[in-house]
Amino acid sequence: MQAKPIFRDRTEAGRALASALKHFEDDPDVLVLALPRGGLPVAVEVARALGAPLDVFVVRKLGVPGHEELAMGAIASGDRITLNDDVVSEAGVRQHEIDEVVGRERRELLRRERAYRGERPPPTIEGRTVILIDDGLATGASMRAAVLSLREQRPKRLVVAVPVAAARTCGELRREADEVICFRSPEPFLGVGVWYADFSQTTDAEVSALLKRASEPARRARP
């Protein structure tokens, strides 16, 4: 039996997720950070609903050589690298292969940060309530890398929020974040894209345009 999508697209998912984050509305300490690219259209709706500033936090999956769809870890802004030792061991990945993948993804991470942010400095994390958003969580490798990297910048509170996720992944992340909000956790999970009618790829240009609009005070202000 084919699974029925929960959300029409990421914009609808963002509006649904925002309804579960109302307790952060108009909190001056809140900062919404999206994991690009797919997390940004979701985060735009959340930031708008909460009256909060929006930015991105770039994370790149580290795929197993030859089986790149399988995540053996991730690298996040701040050069924080996390590895799944079980996957590395089971796949027989050697250290030099890990180093090659890390080097390649590090270069792409830096390219994306420059493309998305331009000359704008990264936001201040220390002492703030940071809400980390993606369009969904399967293994959670990228989100976990983001959480661990942001912890080093001493936020007051670190919240993970996604429209849809595997229940097991949500449970695992609760050991890392102060709060985890998974709007829906269908079983069997099957994959993030299954739960969207439109799961088309978000482009770099769309990310840059969304960030630019979100940075304009007139757009960010609540009506």
187 found inside a domain: yes
In DSSP terms, which residues pair with 159 in a beta bridge?
131, 179
Predicted pLDDT of residue 218: 39
Check pLDDT > 50 for residue 219. Answer: no
Check pLDDT > 80 for residue 223. Answer: no
Predicted pLDDT of residue 142: 86
* Rounded Cα distance, 103 and 108, in Å: 9
Check pLDDT > 80 for residue 216. Answer: no
125-135 pLDDT per residue, tens: 999 999 999 99
* Rounded Cα distance, 28 and 32, in Å: 11
173 found inside a domain: yes
106 found inside a domain: no
Check pLDDT > 70 for residue 203. Answer: yes
CATH assignment of the domain containing 196: 3.40.50.2020
172 found inside a domain: yes
198 found inside a domain: yes
Residue 41: domain span: 10-58+135-214
166 found inside a domain: yes
73 found inside a domain: no
The mean pLDDT of 157-170, rounded to a whole number, is 97
Q: Is-contact 169 195, C-beta < 8 A?
A: no
Check pLDDT > 90 for residue 49. Answer: yes
Round the average pLDDT of the chain to a whole number and report it. Answer: 91
- % of the chain surpassing 90 pLDDT: 70
User: Strand ranges (DSSP E) for the chain?
Assistant: 30-34, 54-56, 59-64, 67-76, 80-83, 129-133, 157-164, 179-184
Cβ count near 69 (within 10 Å): 7
95 found inside a domain: no
Check pLDDT > 70 for residue 217. Answer: no
The reported pTM is 0.86
30-41 pLDDT per residue, tens: 999 999 999 999
Count of domains for the chain: 1
